[in-house]
Structure 1
Amino acid sequence: MAAKPAFSEAARRFGRDRRGNFGMMMAVLAPVLLLGAGFGINVAQMSNARSNLLAALDSAVTSTARDLTTGVIKEQDARASLEAFLFANGVRGFSRLDRLTLDSVVLDKHRKTVEAQASVVVDIAFPLFGAAAVQTITTESAARYSDRRIEVAMMLDVTGSMAKKGKTDKIGDLKDAAKSAVEALLEGNRHSPDRVRVALVPYAEAVNVGKELAGTVVFQEAGNGPVPPPNWARPSKLKDHCATERKLQDGKADFSDAGPDELREHFTKGKNGKTTAYQYKALVNRDERLGSCPSASLLPLTSDKSKLDTAIDGFKASGYTAGGIAAQWGYYMLSPKWRSTVSGAGLGAGPADVDPEKIAKIAILMTDGEFNTAFPEVTDEKDTNKQTTRSPNNARSVCAAMKKDGIEIFTIGFALPSGESAAARKVLADCASPDTPLTKHFYDAATGEELKTAFKDIVRNIERLALIR
């Protein structure tokens, strides 16, 4: 009978013993945890493979589209080009050649798109529940290509603050960066002549239009009024070849791109109360208060690299910063309304008609400081507050007109001084076109190398072909 209580006590002790519980729980949970970990690894592996394949295919498609656009390859060569780019990126990055396949290539000549589908074979790290140990991942990509031509107007600051000081050579940095940008832009002409043309507008407190375009400028004497006098024939009193802003009848700045031969009417009221009208050409004013004229003149659109390089080499730093005048002349150099004037002066074919499907019009506005010079509605040239209000606002108004006409604007601030940086950045950001997921439009460069990088990035953005899927 004594054995029964002993057995009962042993049973109670066993029931209270918890020392093996964790072992039992782990025995149950371990397979579940292992399956979860394996599934997570598989998902990550598949996601990584898909991402790598898409990146390689995107690169192959956009590179092929760019080569179609610039004339490097013909449409019949698209598949071979895609395969070359895809296999090079895939083998170098994430897969073996025998595991990559370019499944299909479709060129839509009407929509100007190239579409492709590709696959990659992946060994699964943890085949689960009878799933295949090998999986095939497929993805698609597409990009636009076109035969559009490109016109670029570069408005470049050659004011006194750009002058070399000690080891700092801002004007030298600008020359290097601008010449680099010109070279990169004109690469687009290697297989298609004149596909890309570039205009230069060096500016300070005015723009030197050169002797060929001097006939577009009228010298505005004191008391002359905002418009040219009735005898608006070619002015004979020009002190130089510089132009300030063009003015309307009321003396305000004219932000339009009207050609200089456009006829306008001006109304005057005599002492007898009778109103008379006369016509005048929409010439650009040369304000008599202008202090200095930049030595470097503008260069209309051209694909002649030697002319562009020579013009850039001639940049000299002096004068104040008239951003509104710079934007105005950049606008003119891209406007078809100035084509007859430019071609008539023997300065090339002039700007093409506006046609977004066939022509990309680009403006690049660069400065190293706050816009601080303007002449319309500024009666006292020493009124710096009015100057620094009018100049940036005039630039904004011209930029708005350019963007309305389909001109894409990039802006660059270069080594902006701390005292002017906020105002300068604000007007540059306002002037620039809106950013997109792939393209930024306002750049802030602190050094010469950063300036060169900004120009290179802008050139890439100009040629960039956005993925459409």
Structure 2
Amino acid sequence: MRYFGGLVHAIGSFARDRSGNFAVLFGMVASVLALGVGFAVNVSQLYNAKSSLQGVVDAAVTSTARDLTTGVIKEADANKSVQAFLDANSRAGILSADQIVLDKLTVDRTANTVQADVHVDLGLYFPIFSVGDMKRVAASTTAVYSDKTIEVAMMLDVTGSMAANWWAKTDKIGDLRTAASGAVEDLLDNNLDPKNPRVRVAIVPYAEAVNTGGLASTVFVEARYGSNVPPPIDAPVSVSLTLAPDKCATERKDKDGYADYSPDGPNTPRLDNDGKTYLAKVNRDDHMKTCPKPELIPLTADKQKLLDTITDFRADGVTAGGIAAQWGYYMLSPSWRSAIADAALGAGPANFDKKKVAKVAILMTDGQFNTAFAGGRGAPRSQNAGQKSRSNAEGICSNMKRDGIEIFTIGFDLDDPSMTMTERDQAKSVLKNCSTADTSSLKHYYEAATGTELAAAFDEITENIEKLAIQR
């Protein structure tokens, strides 16, 4: 009890001396609270500055990487590009003008990355713990860029079903001119150096056949009831020379008359059934009737030449989709480089190398593939022309994808009431089978019901092509 009484007495004495003890206690508590508030304010200030700085440097490096990829700037200009972006956005968040310092910019040509290290010296609201009134905040970020070149072959349907229809108030060939022209503009606008273009585009208009234009010397014109392969290279000139009524070509045939799915160049030596050597030119089948007017254009960065060709599109003929796929393959195959160069039609395609070049094919049609002049080896002889055309297209597309070519397909107005359900399903099936498999970020098969949707499909594909360019 004595101990308990002493404790009561001590508490009573403390309570009576409020003027001194409470003042000391209050001062201690207030100091701790002030320190806590100051620390919290500083932490919040540093967090916000770090967040703002990281956002600015992320945007600066991403923008610079994109400009390096698209060719807007050169590697030597990367530092200036990042600094300009930092200067323009230095007031982000709680940052002040001209605070951001670019410590280091690294362009790694092996990894194809751009890395920036930056900092700001931040004036603290509450200098405490003898750290002074300034605190350095640093940030770093890395973005991937690409120095790949891009080659795009556009296989475009100019068949009779694309013609303007006043009764249905449609003009599909006009819609195609608009959409394809927009895609060419988008793809080629970022070429800064005409002598060393980053992007080149080929146009393959198709109907019953493909008009080879300046590549007409690569075509073997069949004679009625004649051979399916060109004469041997040592044959007399009179035997080798066959006058062509036009510049069109159909499928290339092998020595047995089957469709040839390879990308081999027209000067590739082959052996016929007699063991004699001939050159693998592309056939002009003797049953072909209508040669489309617009000529194919091999890979070029000459935007106006491509746009002029698209402007001249006229709708006529039937749909030989397998022949279209074949010529799109040729326009991207390095095996055709010498033939294209010899015809003074450009440098021709680069080698197949996914690290250095993105090769892309766009196959567009408004209907069912219904025409072919040869079927693939091993295919049933009972196949009709439509079945042969679809099978040939799928076989060629398979080889294109094997060689690393990314294929996008567009079905235009496939729900047209003039098509039966079977025709519609067959048209969609071959386009889906030809296209590269979709990924989480890239779509490859498109359907467009109107001209507006067709243009939107081409727009999205051109955006996807840029995404492909930065994939490792």
| TM bin (shorter chain) | 0.7 to 0.9
Matches within 5 A, 1:112-151: 112-116=112-116, 141-151=141-151
Rate the CA distance shift 1:195–1:468 in 2: closer, same or farther, 3 A.
closer
Rate the CA distance shift 1:145–1:244 in 2: closer, same or farther, 3 A.
same
Indicate if the aligned counterparts of 1:215 and 1:235 stay in contact, CA closer than 8 A: no
* One-letter code aligned to 1:112: N
Matches within 5 A, 1:314-325: 314-325=312-323
Matches within 5 A, 1:411-450: 411-418=409-416, 419=421, 420-450=423-453
Q: How much has 1:385 moved relative to structure 2?
A: 6.3
**Which of residues 168, 171, 176 is equivalent to 1:169?**
171
Deviates more, 1:233-242 or 1:406-415: 233-242
- Any gaps of 5 or more consecutive residues in structure 1? 1-45, 122-135, 268-275
**Which of residues 187, 190, 203 is equivalent to 2:189?**
187
The reply on whether 1:355 has 2:353 as its aligned counterpart is: yes
CA distance in 1, matches of 2:209, 2:78: 49
Indicate if the aligned counterparts of 1:342 and 1:350 stay in contact, CA closer than 8 A: yes
Q: How much has 1:446 moved relative to structure 2?
A: 1.7
* One-letter code aligned to 1:266: D
The reply on whether 1:374 has 2:382 as its aligned counterpart is: no
How many residues are treated as equivalent by the alignment? 397
Rate the CA distance shift 1:300–1:440 in 2: closer, same or farther, 3 A.
same
Matches within 5 A, 1:4-403: 59-82=59-82, 85=85, 95-98=93-96, 105-116=105-116, 141-166=141-166, 167-191=169-193, 193=195, 194-210=197-213, 212-230=214-232, 231=235, 235-267=241-273, 276-377=274-375, 386-403=384-401
CA distance in 1, matches of 2:113, 2:253: 45
Q: How much has 1:295 moved relative to structure 2?
A: 0.8
Indicate if the aligned counterparts of 2:194 and 2:301 stay in contact, CA closer than 8 A: no
Q: How much has 1:57 moved relative to structure 2?
A: 6.0
Deviations 1:164-201 (A, max 9, x none): 01231111111111111111111121256422211110
CA distance in 2, matches of 1:373, 1:414: 18
Alignment RMSD: 3.5
Rate the CA distance shift 1:320–1:56 in 2: closer, same or farther, 3 A.
farther
Q: SS of 1:360's equivalent?
A: strand
CA distance in 1, matches of 2:297, 2:444: 24
- TM-score under structure 1 length normalisation: 0.74
CA distance in 1, matches of 2:468, 2:373: 41
Q: SS of 1:333's equivalent?
A: helix
Indicate if the aligned counterparts of 2:145 and 2:470 stay in contact, CA closer than 8 A: no
Rate the CA distance shift 1:322–1:61 in 2: closer, same or farther, 3 A.
farther
Q: SS of 1:188's equivalent?
A: coil
Q: How much has 1:98 moved relative to structure 2?
A: 3.8
Deviations 1:275-315 (A, max 9, x none): x4222110111111112110111111111122111111111
Q: SS of 1:300's equivalent?
A: strand
* One-letter code aligned to 1:144: V
Q: How much has 1:156 moved relative to structure 2?
A: 0.5
CA distance in 1, matches of 2:367, 2:205: 15
Rate the CA distance shift 1:283–1:254 in 2: closer, same or farther, 3 A.
same
Rate the CA distance shift 1:438–1:236 in 2: closer, same or farther, 3 A.
same
Q: How much has 1:336 moved relative to structure 2?
A: 1.3
Indicate if the aligned counterparts of 1:142 and 1:467 stay in contact, CA closer than 8 A: no
Q: How much has 1:55 moved relative to structure 2?
A: 7.7
Rate the CA distance shift 1:435–1:116 in 2: closer, same or farther, 3 A.
farther
Deviations 1:236-278 (A, max 9, x none): 23222111101112222100011111111112xxxxxxxx422
1:19 match = none
CA distance in 1, matches of 2:471, 2:309: 39
CA distance in 1, matches of 2:471, 2:61: 11
1:408 match = 406
Deviations 1:97-154 (A, max 9, x none): 4499688754322211113578999xxxxxxxxxxxxxx9998653322322222111
CA distance in 1, matches of 2:440, 2:118: 25
Indicate if the aligned counterparts of 1:322 and 1:373 stay in contact, CA closer than 8 A: yes
Rate the CA distance shift 1:385–1:84 in 2: closer, same or farther, 3 A.
farther
Rate the CA distance shift 1:119–1:227 in 2: closer, same or farther, 3 A.
same
* One-letter code aligned to 1:181: A
Indicate if the aligned counterparts of 1:151 and 1:198 stay in contact, CA closer than 8 A: yes
* One-letter code aligned to 1:200: I
